[in-house]
């Protein structure tokens, strides 16, 4: 049936979120998206690599793998077969702060998928016989990353920028730490972290209201309440300038990393998003315009904000011909220290890119669930478009005074990576 356009156009607010909390503290959030072809179930837990204690490096990610090896009820591979036989898909990701497991499923199969997902994640079997084999898979994953020079350069930068902090460690861990792990130590890790208020379930799609009852009587409600764990230190970045050679690089890289406020400071996050957009997104952004379009000394210019709970990271990554490195660095120095205030036109452009970017992300149930869950997990019970309310408060003067000061090159950890000797 052809839909009337007047109706279509009038309904582009963000999906309405319903928040509630189970008795044991588990956070829940639902987003009704009546037109989404697939429903997303997304279970988040405050069990990222930053929650690892000494000796546990890589455990959060290894556990994420082991979860898919089956539960006390589901045999190895049974979950994947069941979800995919229903026309769905599943995956998981481990970050610094949290880990999440998600399923995309036709709406009429959501109840079954919910039961399977919660059983898999909350009651993993962590069987001895699959443990060694899955460790081999993680070692292959590490080897694959080792073969990607871009990944190497980024990790080398983070290790130097945050040497004393979890954000400086590889999420995948290192072979030696992985080899020391046992199913028993992993079970302890799981039992300590997958608890009440450390978990959040988001559901988004068509008919999510019908799932509330199932959630309230699910194994989520039986999780023990979270206990206070040792608090982790805030992020303190080590400024400096480093140079490495990477054998298989074909062009040079210049990486700069700065630290910023934690994700809880949503106003700062929006300001930093705006600043990185003005500096590094699109041909008319300052760094792209100068380095790539005018001087033509850089091939790619990427500037990103990674909003994190213990302190955010801003990264600038440039690839260029090694002979242009000095000119690139000089230009960045100029742009970040002596450049003029952003013009009203630049500010408006940045606001449009940030605002519309968020609006585009509301199209998919997976992105909506992911945003809703990560905010809720970390105590931000807010509408998905709420961050944009801060956008107007970032004037050119405020950006200059608060963010450009923070992005001074002297406050960055800079890594220059050049191709190895065979070049």
Partner 1 sequence: MPLPVLKRIPLRTPGVMAAKLLLPWGSACDAPGERGSHQLLAACLSRGCGPLDPLQLADLVEGRGAGLRSDAHEDGLLVSLRCTVEDVDDLLPLLGWMITAPQLPPDQLELERSLSLQALQRQREDPFQIGIDSWRKLVYGTSGYGHDPLGVQTDLENLAPERLRELSHRLPRGPAVLVMAGCWPDQLNGDLKQLQGFERWPATQSTEQPPEPLLDWCPQKDSTIVTTAMDTEQVVLTLGQACCSHSHDDDLALRLLQSHLGSGMSSLLFQRLREEHGVAYDVGAYLSARAGAAPFLLYASSSAERAELALTLLLDSWCELSERELTSAELDLARAKYRGQMAHASQTASQRAERSAQLHGLGLPDDHDQRCLSRLETLTSRQLLVAAGRWLNQPRLSLCGPAPTLRRLESVWERRQSGGVSSSSS
Site for partner 1 in 46-75 (CB under 8 A): 68-69
- Applying CB under 8 A, does 2 fall inside the site for partner 1? yes
**How many other CB atoms sit within 10 Å of the CB of residue 328?**
23
Distance of alpha carbon 204 from alpha carbon 375, whole angstroms: 14
Query: Of 80 and 402, which has the nearer Cβ to partner 1?
Result: 80
Q: Which stretch binds partner 1 (CB under 8 A): 19-27, 77-85, 222-230, 403-411?
A: 77-85
User: Residue 5 interacts with partner 1 (CB under 8 A)?
Assistant: yes
Give me the least distance between CB of 2 and partner 1, in Å please: 6
The closest of 117, 109, 120 to 210, measured between CA atoms, is 109
**Contact present, 270 and 391 (Cβ < 8 Å):** yes
Residue 36 binds to partner 1 (criterion: CB under 8 A): yes
Q: Does the protein bind partner 1 through residue 138 (CB under 8 A)?
A: yes
State the nearest-atom distance from the C-beta of 365 to partner 1, in Å. 7
- Which positions from 261 through 300 interact with partner 1, judged by CB under 8 A? 281-285, 292-293, 296, 299
- Structure tokens that stand for 254 in this block: 């210049």
- Judged by CB under 8 A, the residue of 106, 183, 207, 239 near partner 1 is 106
Nearest-angstrom CA–CA distance, 106 and 38: 5
Q: Please report how close the Cβ of residue 291 comes to partner 1 at its closest, in angstroms.
A: 12
**Rule CB under 8 A: is residue 137 a binding residue for partner 1?**
yes
CB of 178 to partner 1, least distance (A): 13
Using CB under 8 A as the binding rule, whether residue 136 contacts partner 1 is answered as yes
- Does 140 bind partner 1 (CB under 8 A)? Our answer is yes
**C-alpha–C-alpha distance, residues 334 and 254, integer Å:** 16
Stretch touching partner 1 by CB under 8 A, among 131-139, 158-166, 220-228, 401-409: 131-139
- In the complex with partner 1, which residue's Cβ is closer, 144 or 227? 144
Tell which one of 13, 164, 182, 337 touches partner 1 (CB under 8 A): 13
Residues 243-262 that bind partner 1 (CB under 8 A): 247-251
Q: Which stretch binds partner 1 (CB under 8 A): 2-10, 48-56, 93-101, 226-234?
A: 2-10
Q: Which is nearer to partner 1, 292 or 310 (CB)?
A: 292
For residue 421, which phi and psi values (nearest 5 degrees)? -65, -25
CB of 230 to partner 1, least distance (A): 32
Full 3-state SS string of 303-343: EEEECCCCCCEEEEEEEECHHHHHHHHHHHHHHHHCCCCCC
The answer to whether 327 contacts partner 1 (rule: CB under 8 A) is no
The footprint of partner 1 on residues 170-229 (CB under 8 A) is: none
Interface with partner 1, residue 147, by CB under 8 A? yes
CA pair distance 73, 34, nearest whole angstrom: 33
Please pick, from the candidates 38, 74, 158, 178, the single residue that binds partner 1 as defined by CB under 8 A: 38
> Can you tell me which of 72, 108, 128, 143 binds partner 1, judged by CB under 8 A?
143
Per-residue b or e along 379-417, where b marks 16 or more CB atoms closer than 10 Å to that residue's CB: eeeeebeebbebbeebebeebeeebbebbebeebbbbbb
Interface with partner 1 (CB under 8 A), residue from 72, 128, 146, 381: 146
Residue numbers 337-396 binding partner 1 by CB under 8 A: 345, 348-349, 352-357, 359-360, 362-366
- Give min distance, CB of 143 to partner 1, in A: 4
């Amino acid at each position: 049936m052809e839909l009337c356009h007047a109706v279509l156009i009038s309904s582009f607010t963000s999906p309405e979120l319903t928040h509630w909390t189970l008795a044991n503290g588990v956070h829940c959030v639902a987003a009704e998206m009546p037109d989404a072809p697939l429903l997303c179930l997304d279970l988040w837990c405050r069990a990222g690599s930053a929650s690892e204690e000494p000796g546990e490096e890589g455990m959060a990610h290894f556990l994420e793998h082991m979860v898919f090896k089956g539960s006390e009820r589901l045999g190895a591979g049974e979950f994947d077969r069941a979800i995919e036989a229903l026309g769905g898909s599943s995956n998981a990701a481990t970050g610094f702060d949290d880990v999440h497991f998600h399923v995309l499923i036709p709406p009429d199969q959501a109840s079954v998928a919910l039961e399977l997902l919660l059983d898999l994640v909350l009651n993993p079997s962590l069987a001895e016989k699959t443990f060694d084999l899955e460790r081999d898979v993680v070692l292959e994953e590490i080897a694959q990353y080792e073969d990607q020079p871009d990944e190497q350069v980024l990790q080398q930068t983070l290790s130097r920028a945050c040497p004393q902090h979890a954000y400086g460690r590889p999420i995948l861990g290192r072979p030696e730490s992985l080899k020391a792990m046992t199913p028993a130590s992993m079970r302890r890790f799981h039992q300590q972290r997958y608890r009440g208020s450390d978990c959040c379930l988001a559901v988004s799609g068509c008919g999510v209201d019908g799932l509330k009852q199932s959630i309230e009587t699910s194994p989520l409600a039986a999780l023990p309440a979270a206990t206070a764990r040792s608090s982790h230190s805030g992020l303190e970045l080590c400024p400096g300038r480093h140079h490495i050679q990477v054998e298989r690089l074909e062009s040079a890289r210049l990486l700069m990393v700065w630290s910023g406020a934690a994700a809880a400071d949503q106003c700062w996050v929006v300001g930093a998003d705006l600043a990185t957009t003005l500096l590094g997104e699109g041909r008319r952004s300052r760094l792209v315009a100068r380095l790539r379009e005018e001087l033509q000394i850089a091939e790619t210019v990427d500037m990103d904000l990674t909003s994190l709970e213990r302190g955010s990271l801003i990264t600038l990554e440039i690839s260029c011909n090694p002979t242009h490195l000095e000119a690139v660095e000089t230009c960045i120095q100029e742009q970040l220290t002596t450049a003029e205030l952003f013009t009203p036109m630049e500010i408006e452009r940045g606001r449009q890119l940030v605002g519309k970017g968020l609006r585009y992300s509301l199209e998919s149930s997976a992105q909506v669930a992911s945003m809703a869950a990560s905010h809720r997990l970390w105590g931000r019970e807010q509408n998905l478009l709420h961050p944009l309310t801060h956008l107007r408060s970032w004037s050119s003067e405020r950006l200059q005074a608060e963010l450009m000061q923070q992005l001074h090159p002297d406050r960055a950890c800079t890594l220059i990576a050049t191709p190895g000797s065979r070049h």
